[in-house]
Amino acid sequence: MAYRKQELIDMSIKAIKKHSLKKMTHIPAYLPCDRSTFYNYKLEILDDIKEELYKNKINSKIKLSDKWEDSDNPTLQIAAYKLMADEDELIKLTSSKFDHRSSDGTMTPKTTIITTMTQDQLKESLNK
């Protein structure tokens, strides 16, 4: 069956809105044509279709973010905060702090002296 391109565009946008589609690969399942027809008409590169998918993605992200923020679950609250955090806050959340001071509180590194011993010298030092 022959399809007019504009009909397929309209049907695609209608399917995106009706079924809250978020991925381009899901659209052909809601069209009366084969998947190959969808791609032969190059519908996947049309801005109108991409824009509708983008709107659905953004709306879903907003809904999830709101649910996470209002949740009593600390893990979800941290996830929501990470989504809203600026770069400095995100670095503080995701990095570990290491204390490089020595045991006496100074920044002076400990000196370790490494010597080599023969096997006999090692046995002798262990027997002392």
- Structural domain contains residue 36: yes
- pLDDT score at 119: 75
- pLDDT score at 35: 95
The DSSP code for 110 is P
Query: What is the model's pTM?
Result: 0.64
Residue 16 has pLDDT above 70, yes or no: yes
- Structural domain contains residue 64: yes
- Structural domain contains residue 13: yes
Tokens matching residue 63? 């809904």
Per residue in 65-116, pLDDT (tens digit) is 999 999 999 999 988 888 888 988 888 777 666 656 666 666 666 666 666 7
Cβ–Cβ contacts within 10 Å for residue 65, how many? 16
- Structural domain contains residue 15: yes
| Residues in contact with 85: Cβ distance below 8 Å, sequence separation at least 6, in sequence order | 93
- pLDDT score at 36: 95
- Structural domain contains residue 101: no
* Burial class of 4 by CB neighbour count within 10 A (0 to 12, 13 to 18, 19+): exposed
- Structural domain contains residue 102: no
- Structural domain contains residue 104: no
Instruction: Read off φ and ψ for residue 117, nearest 5 degrees.
Output: -130, 155
Across the chain, mean pLDDT equals 86
Q: What share of the chain is helix, strand, coil (3-state, %, to 5)?
A: 65, 0, 35
The parent domain of residue 10 ranges over: 5-93
- Structural domain contains residue 99: no
Q: Band of the pLDDT at 121, cuts 50, 70, 90?
A: confident
